[in-house]
Amino acid sequence: MSAVRTAPVVVRTREELAEVLSRGQGPTGVVMTMGALHVGHAQLLRQARLRAATVVATIFVNPLQFGPGEDFERYPRSFDADLQVCAQQQVDVVFAPSPAEMYPFGEPVTTINPGPLAELYEGAARPGHFAGVLTVVNKLLHLTGAEVAFFGEKDFQQLTLIRQLVRDTDMPVEVVGVPTVREPDGLALSSRNVYLSVGQRAQALGISRALLAARDVADPVVEAHRVLAEHGITPDYVVLTDMEMGKPPVSGEGRLLIAAKVGTTRLIDNAPVLVGSN
């Protein structure tokens, strides 16, 4: 589809989406976003372009995944700029539904239960968040009919739960994790970085520096706490897991995850680590 298209087709309804996809070629790849696209999203779209004949980007700020007092209303929305990013990455279709289109009967009675992992870490800080995420991911996978879906590793717990959803429900979808894109100084790209002041942004570098310092030490958690403290950051959590977010490994490859507030902005980041190497 992309060979003859210079700008993405924008569709707002499921009927329009079905009609335009019926004219496309397979396989279909999807990148699900809430808009406010940055270089990290562009990398996801590039990976999709390499793998799929038809690339769909979804832009939908999903109310189900925001809890009371969170930033749903002020979450950055920049649709025209987002379309430019999609055009630059040769996206074929942008599906940008309204909440009423996604949830025509109001807040859904039936949602996805994401299981015990969703009650830990980000799930503990944001109760119900992952049920909202998996419910909309489930709907968008069905609506787009995608054979392959691309998600960033920065939201590693989310990525792990989406893989669990696809596995446990026998969806014929390949879930591809794409490495975190960072600024030259190491800060992980996030749509919420716009909330940071200049001073807060400098302080936030402590998170990525903690991950870097902990990547090849005997005790990654202790080392990460040390570096965070040097930057005046008190984390919500610093946790070591295996690569599927199970129990921490005694030795070998694991995943270190950090969440912390810098000012009023909650940031998350993670990286692979080698446990017990020193």
Q: Can you spell out the DSSP letters for 115-169? A: -GGGGSTHHHHSTTHHHHHHHHHHHHHHHHT-SEEEEETTSHHHHHHHHHHHHHT
Write out the catalytic residue numbers.
Answer: 41
The ranges assigned to domains in the chain are: 2-178, 191-275
Q: What's the pLDDT score for residue 258?
A: 98
Q: What's the pLDDT score for residue 75?
A: 81
Cα separation of 83 and 246, whole Å? 38
Token pair, residue 3, equals 């060979």
How would you class 27 by CB atoms within 10 Å of its CB: exposed for 0-12, middle for 13-18, buried for 19 or more?
middle
Q: What's the pLDDT score for residue 1?
A: 58
Name the 3-class secondary structure at 188.
strand
**CATH dotted code for 191-275:** 3.30.1300.10
Cα separation of 151 and 218, whole Å? 30
Contacts of 245 (CB under 8 A, 6+ apart): 117, 156, 157, 160, 255
What's phi and psi for 172, nearest 5 deg? -85, 60
Token pair, residue 252, equals 């070998």
CATH architecture for residues 2-178: 3-Layer(aba) Sandwich (3.40)
Token pair, residue 94, equals 């942008």
CB 6 within 8 A of CB 87: yes
Q: Does the predicted TM-score (pTM) go above 0.85?
A: yes
Neighbours of 197 (CB within 10 A): 11
CB 137 within 8 A of CB 32: yes
Q: What's the pLDDT score for residue 277?
A: 64
Beta strand 252-262 with 235-241 is antiparallel
CB 100 within 8 A of CB 16: no
Q: What's the pLDDT score for residue 278?
A: 62
Residue segments in the chain with a per-residue pLDDT below the cut of 50: 2-4
